[in-house]
Chains A and B, each alone.
Chain A
Amino acid sequence: MENNLKAGYFPGCSQTGTAREYDLSLRSVAEKLGTELTDVDDWNCCGATSAHVTNHTLANALAMRNIVQAEKQGLTEMVAPCAACYNRLIVSQHETQIHPELKKEIEAILDSKIENPVQVMNIVELFTKIGADKVKQAVVKDLKELNAACYYGCLLLRPSDITHFDDAEQPTSMEELIKLTGAKPVEWNFKVECCGAAHSIARKDIVVDLSKKILDDAVAHGANVMVVACPMCHTNLDMRQKAIKKEYPEHKEIPVLYLTELIGLALGMDEKELGINLHTVKFELKKETA
């Protein structure tokens, strides 16, 4: 295939652990669409949460090391599928661009010049880059049985001055994308509500309440599946449904898919190939009746 996209890939920690299936599905989908992903050599922590609440310089230095690594590999575009990684990387790029002193400090720490030529993309932007036409052409299975509630969470969109991506309050880019697969996006209220994020570990109770609200609203608006683009969101919305069920026995479960998994299904891959079988809330497409 001509005009195939070549892009760097920054997996981040989740992709190798709790969100293995996100990594798996992204790699399979990319291959199917003829996109060549090159892993960033010797990548390290993006600086999310622990680092950036502890030390500003450390957080930026961690993120920028990954950028510099990509730079050295000659990459000009790089996808960071985890919303937190994406956020940390572009925010650090921004910070070093507007604060020359911070840039100098980090260059000294990294012992390397920062040129900032690498354009960091989130997962939605990757598909935009690949092209709607290309995705549409590759679709072999119509997912019309899916009424999907697209959930953006916080880090994909904010701060909008830096991300310059979609509308931070009424985003629509994921909806546009999943329409290509035949799935029907539902109009609902909590696309950008807080899922509780890292509270999942220390204050499960908060996450249970917040996530339940989000899931309930999706169900109330007719969704039979949720689509996310962030491992943290997935953890809170999928894995925590067990805890929700315990707290609220009447809770109606709803499966939560990564955007890449949903697209993978439309491209004809099965649930196992995409790692969907690893989810807490089980999901299977209806079997075709011959």
Chain B
Amino acid sequence: MKIGVFICHCGENIGRTVDCPRVSKAAEWFPGVVHSVDYKYMCSDPGQNMIKDAIREKGLDAIVVGSCSPHMHEKTFRKAALDAGINPFLCEMANLREHVSWVHDDIEEATQKAIDLTRMAVEKVKRNQPLATIKVPVTKRTLVIGGGIAGIQAALDVANAGYEVVLVEKEPSIGGHMSQLSETFPTLDCSQCILTPRMVEVYQHPKIKLMTYSEVEKVEGFIGNFHVTIRQKARHIDASKCTGCGLCITKCPIRKKAFNSFEEGMAYRPAVYVPFPQAVPNIPVIDETVCTYYKNGKCGVCVKVCGREAIMFDQQDKLVTEEIGAIIMATGYKLYDISKKPDDSFIKGYGEYGYGKYKDVIDGLQFERIASASGPTSGEFKRPSDGKEPKKVVFIQCVGSRDDSKGFSYCSKICCMYTAKHAMLYKHKVHDGEAYVFYMDIRSGGKMYEEFVRRAIEEDGVKYVRGRVSKVYEQNGKYIVKGEDTIAGMPVEIEADMVVLATAMIAQENASTLAQTVGIPYDKYGFFNEAHPKLRPIESTTGGIFLAGACQSPKDIPESVAMASAAAAKTMVLFGSDMLEREPVVARVNELLCGGCFYCRKVCPYSAIEVREIKDRNGVVIKEVAYVNDGLCQGCGTCTATCPSKSVELMGFTNEQIFAQIAAL
């Protein structure tokens, strides 16, 4: 077997710490190597041509490229091998960048390690078998998880391209946080006015199956072929009969037992409710935890008033399974709740702002509801404690964000903008009111964003104070805000009537659980991880699962929408072909050796192992053996490790290959 070795400098990335010419010289002496060179950029066109030419001229049977991680360029080099006429799976990579140069300082030791890794790759490639890619069919249906603006946009884009969409939302209505907002920056257009047409479009779209009050419970399968189990929580209303007349809601005698979460706890809702008037679908939900019927079987007023007999107290949760090809995660964010002491979290919390002791210290979403015409105060500025109009409002930015010692390290990105908007909205309605904003920096990157903040300062007279607030406390009916003006170099105290905290945007409560269910990685804050921070920001590392909106990191509306459309485009790329090519790294059973114990079947996380009967010429079953379904196998290797007779092998990573690598060390 003739093997060629190609060592890449990756500019200075590898060359700085690894003596590449020495590695290539050393490789010349490895048994089987007939050609070894080094080059500055092996992935470049001339670099690839070096490989192709060498294969052709020297008649190479297999190649080893010592360069970056296979994640980056395995495709490139396999393609080059294929172009020059050898099976792409006879190309191996030694990772000299992520595994060597980026993690070591000492040139001598790093070079030695690079030589070792290259030798191991050479020993492996000698034992590689030519493999052929596997083709699997694609189910051209998309699951969108989350019905906020990102999920809505993604669902509409995919559906308008002609593909079916299943949109799952855990709340009774789609709309997400955007439906709670009063007006949006930087144009101050009414949030609901621009959102609700989209919500209605989703509802009426023939290609969209809308499942509200539902949650994804199980995801099995793989790219192009997911089987998804969705729990439709019991609304206790027959959706096929309900007309959305709202009579049950107005007649429900339970008026003050449950807080309205759409109004951020500043109003009550009955036991039977729709979250807000423009809810989609306009079908109420009965809250079992407060409804009298579930306590003592009495009441039933809703049953009496409903002309359509739509109330179903005994309705149960329903599990629905869907066949899906691609998944778009659009689960959004929540606000960090400073109204209580943090539990066992790495966040220390903000006792200096009172842990919810003061009714008029509110967060950004509560302010949105107060400012909103559909909110609990009908858009009039009234503070929660006594309903009086606040004449002095202090806004505090970066509460929980950019705070290594007590909060989260990251910037929540949108607070500078929405705080400017809040202050502006307040000044537009309370002309004699004063608005103060405590800030660290003003981060207003974006089209018309900086202009918007300047407008708040210059035209609307919002007073910006650069500094942090150390304490908020109540004194004689006023909230004393103690802080520092770092530009004046002076401590400041402001007697405010209301304080608005721009609290950090954080991942949804169950984000990490959902990520585990779906099978995608997430960061320490619970935000879903993209496959590459620059070049693959929309894809998760799991094939066929894409990310949209604030579930990935804090984002404003335009960014979420852009990301949603990008995710939609990604699913369409996937649906562009009928068959999907997959790497042939799957398990294979040696039927002669297999004893039919089926331990492999028990441990396989993808249910990819089936039973095959071996029959003699008379059709009599002589034994049962394990059989791997290529479409389902993900090549994890659990079966290989489990098999007591060592009769399952992972293609491309056989025991022989791995042991040869180890022996070469």
Contacts and interface: CB of A to CB of B under 8 A. Distances in A.
A168 B354 CA distance: 12
A140 B349 CA distance: 39
A101 B351 CA distance: 36
B474 to A, nearest CB: 7
B475 A170 contact: no
B341 interface: yes
A168 B355 CA distance: 13
Contacts of A277: none
A170 B473 contact: no
B351 A189 contact: no
A167 B341 contact: yes
Contacts of A217: 475
Interface string A96-123: 0000000000000000000000000000
B406 to A, nearest CB: 9
A169 interface: yes
B351 A168 contact: yes
B475 A169 contact: no
Contacts of B57: none
B468 to A, nearest CB: 14
Nearest to A161: B405
Interface residues of A, number: 9
Nearest to A160: B348
Interface centre among A167, A168, A169, A190 (most CB of B within 10 A): A169
A170 B406 CA distance: 14
Contacts of B348: 160, 168
Interface string B453-481: 00000000000000000000111000000
A157 to B, nearest CB: 10
Nearest to B474: A189
B438 interface: no
B352 interface: yes
A170 B355 contact: yes
Interface string B344-361: 000011111011000000
B355 A189 contact: no
A217 B350 CA distance: 21
B350 A169 contact: yes
Contact of B351 (A167, A190, A220): A167
Interface in A203-249: 217, 220
Nearest to B355: A170
Contacts of A190: 473
Contacts of B474: 189
Nearest to B472: A189
Contacts of B352: 169
Contacts of A189: 473-475
Interface string B322-358: 0000000000000000000100000011111011000
A66 B171 CA distance: 60
A169 B473 contact: no
A166 to B, nearest CB: 10
B556 to A, nearest CB: 31
Contacts of A170: 341, 351, 354-355
B373 to A, nearest CB: 36
A160 B351 CA distance: 13
A190 B482 CA distance: 12
Contacts of B341: 167, 170
A169 B475 CA distance: 17
A190 B350 CA distance: 15
Contacts of A160: 348
A130 B348 CA distance: 28
A269 B474 CA distance: 37
Contacts of B355: 170
A190 B480 CA distance: 12
Nearest to B473: A189
A170 B341 CA distance: 9
A170 B473 CA distance: 12
B499 to A, nearest CB: 14
A33 B354 CA distance: 36
Interface in A161-208: 167-170, 189-190
Nearest to A159: B405
A20 B326 CA distance: 75
Contacts of A167: 341, 349, 351
A16 B608 CA distance: 78
A268 B349 CA distance: 40
A169 B351 CA distance: 5
Contacts of A169: 350-352
A190 B349 CA distance: 18
A220 B348 CA distance: 30
A56 B352 CA distance: 30
Contacts of B475: 189, 217, 220
A169 to B, nearest CB: 3
A217 B476 CA distance: 11
Contacts of B354: 170
A51 to B, nearest CB: 26
Interface of B: 341, 348-352, 354-355, 473-475
Interface of A: 160, 167-170, 189-190, 217, 220
9 smallest A-B Cβ distances: which pairs?
Answer: A169-B351, A170-B351, A189-B473, A169-B352, A167-B351, A170-B355, A167-B341, A168-B351, A160-B348
11 contacts: A160-B348, A167-B351, A168-B351, A169-B352, A170-B341, A170-B354, A170-B355, A189-B475, A190-B473, A217-B475, A220-B475
